[in-house]
Amino acid sequence: MSKLNALSGRWKLGLLLALGTATMWGTLPVALHQVAPTIGPATSTFFRFFIAALLLTPYLLVTRQVNNPNKLKSAKLLALTLAAGLLLTGNYGFYILGLQRTSAEATQVMIQLAPMLLLLAGLWLFKETFSTKQWLGFFAFALGLLLFFERQISQLLFDFGDYGLGLVFIIMSAIFWTGYAIIQKYLLNDFKSSETMLILYWIGSLVFLPLSDFSTMGQLNSLQWAALLFCGLNTLIAYGCFAEAMVHLEASRVSAIIAITPLFTIAIAQLLPIGDMPVEPLTALSILGAILVVSGSITTAIAKKS
């Protein structure tokens, strides 16, 4: 059965679900900024994994969607699963370390490197090809990054400061996510996506548990507790919306919609500043850069080779 025939045909529902994913991911750095300064990046990341794992585990057990536990007896599959879990853990860890040193807007713009790196990896690993329009989209994306961060380029090249280190952490986060996504492609030959995510969430929880400090939990106010719960639910809900959107829309269309995530973050941070959260000072060049990053990502995702 072709991919087109496998789709439900309910494209409007797919569109809403993809927009839901973009909205959840767009609001995530804003929520993390509310809790990380109080309980620390490691503890915040532990709860992102733990809440998602805690909620997903009984659901999959009750609905009997865990069907392949014996496959982990294979040394190869076990090694791949552990590698995927550690790479996703690194992705989460570097993401929040970068978020601490930059801003929500900068983080979301730079993390768009992740799907772009995955597309480029496909050229090498999966022998895929880019059309001329896709290459134009890629160069528009690269130019957009340069324009958005034009004020901070000197920090990366000459006067390496805390902001520059934060951008390096986000780049590392994108690289780790790309590695995770590549391995996930292979794991999906043997496991359901929900099964792999359940294992990966528990791996992340176990890695960050000894790094966490729960002594400051009592300092959280009601808004921060709500933000912490939201961070855990965000991981689960965004993934659920993303997986369900793929049932109703082509993968390239879903990717194109999710590419607008930075625009949600920029709008929230600029229009609804919360507490002491740093806000990126936007100029005409940085706004143009953000638009090019998004449009370049969309073009690269949907422009197929004829």
> Which range, 157-166, 280-289, 295-304, has the best average confidence (pLDDT)?
280-289
Q: What is the pLDDT of residues 22-64, one digit of tens each?
A: 889 889 998 898 898 899 999 999 999 999 999 999 988 888 7
Residue 183, pLDDT score: 86
Average pLDDT over residues 84-100: 92
Tokens 């090809």 — which residue? 129
Per DSSP, which regions of 44-157 are E strands?
none
| SS3 annotation, 186-218 | HHCCCCCHHHHHHHHHHHHHHHHCCCCCHHHHH
**Whole-number pLDDT of residue 69:** 64
**Is 286 strand, coil or helix?**
helix
Question: What CA–CA distances, in Å, run from 245 to 22, 105, 135, 200, 237?
Answer: 11, 25, 26, 21, 12
**Do the Cβ atoms of 265 and 108 come closer than 8 Å?**
yes
Q: What percent of the chain has pLDDT over 90?
A: 24
- pLDDT tens digits for 171-210? 999 999 888 888 887 887 777 778 888 888 999 999 999 9
Per-residue exposure over 41-60, b if at least 16 CB sit within 10 Å of its own CB, e if not: bbbbbbbbbbbbbeebeeeb
Q: In Å, how far from its chain's centre is CA 235?
A: 9
Over residues 249-271, the pLDDT tens digits come to 776 677 778 888 888 888 888 88
pTM of the model: 0.84
Q: What pLDDT score does 43 carry?
A: 94
Q: Where are the domains of the chain?
A: 3-302
